[in-house]
Structures are given as structure tokens and as C-alpha cells.
Amino acid sequence: TQLLEQSPQFLSIQEGENLTVYCNSSSVFSSLQWYRQEPGEGPVLLVTVVTGGEVKKLKRLTFQFGDARKDSSLHITAAQPGDTGLYLCAGGGGLWGAQKLVFGQGTRLTINP
């Protein structure tokens, strides 16, 4: 059973379209992180959200933490081929304690030119 469920698991869209990736849990987390991973490399941190309802923007990427701190979303506006990759959400605190992160299963995003 996955503590953090990401949806969709696979997404293939055309350049210029918008998309949203979801990360949901029944557990409360003290923080929620998003990572991006490219083939042959380790995940790289994009953003951390810690406050319920918090919204952070990173250029064309918008991250939101749910009010109850159980879910998060990643919205990409006008997707570019360079956005292609595996996106992972990770929750800190909560049932797992402060020392460990639990990861979702990932969303593999492909942006077609």
C-alpha cells in the first residue's frame, strides 16, 4: 500500500498544453516536497511546502499544499519538452517521523514537440 498516491502515473501531452499532477494521502505531513528525476540521474529537489494552503511558483510550475496538509498538486503551464521527466512527491513528518521521507510512486511526464 502506497502512503502517497500520485496521479496520473503516466502523462504524455503536446508542447504548450497545461497539466496538473496530484499527490494524495490519508495521512497528514509536516512538509511536502517535489522532486524531478531525469534518466540515469538521482532525483533533484524542486520545492518544499510546509503550510496548509501554501502556494509556491517556480517559473511555469505552481505547487500547492492542501489545506489539511494531506495532499499536494503540481501544475505546469505551457509545458515545454524540457519539462519531460519523472516527478516525485515526498512527505516528511507525520506517521514516518521527522527523520524520513516517504515517496509517491511518481508521474512520468512526456512533453512532445
Residues that bind other proteins (CB under 8 A): 2, 4, 6, 9, 30-31, 33, 40-45, 48, 50, 88, 90, 92-93, 98-106
Q: How far is the CB of 16 from other proteins (least distance, A)?
A: 28
**Residue (57 or 100) nearer to other proteins, CB:** 100
Choice between 34 and 111, CB closer to other proteins: 34
Pairing of strands 19-24, 71-76: antiparallel
Amino acid identity at 103: F
CA atoms within 13 A on the CB side of 67: 0
- Shortest spacing between CB 73 and other proteins, in angstroms: 17
Q: Is 104 exposed, middle or buried (0-12, 13-18, 19+ CB in 10 A)?
A: buried
**Which C-beta is closer to other proteins: that of 91 or that of 111?**
91
In this structure, what C-alpha cell is assigned to residue 102? Answer: 516517504
Peptide bond into 81 cis (omega under 30): no
Rounded to a whole number of angstroms, the minimum distance from the CB of residue 11 to other proteins is 15
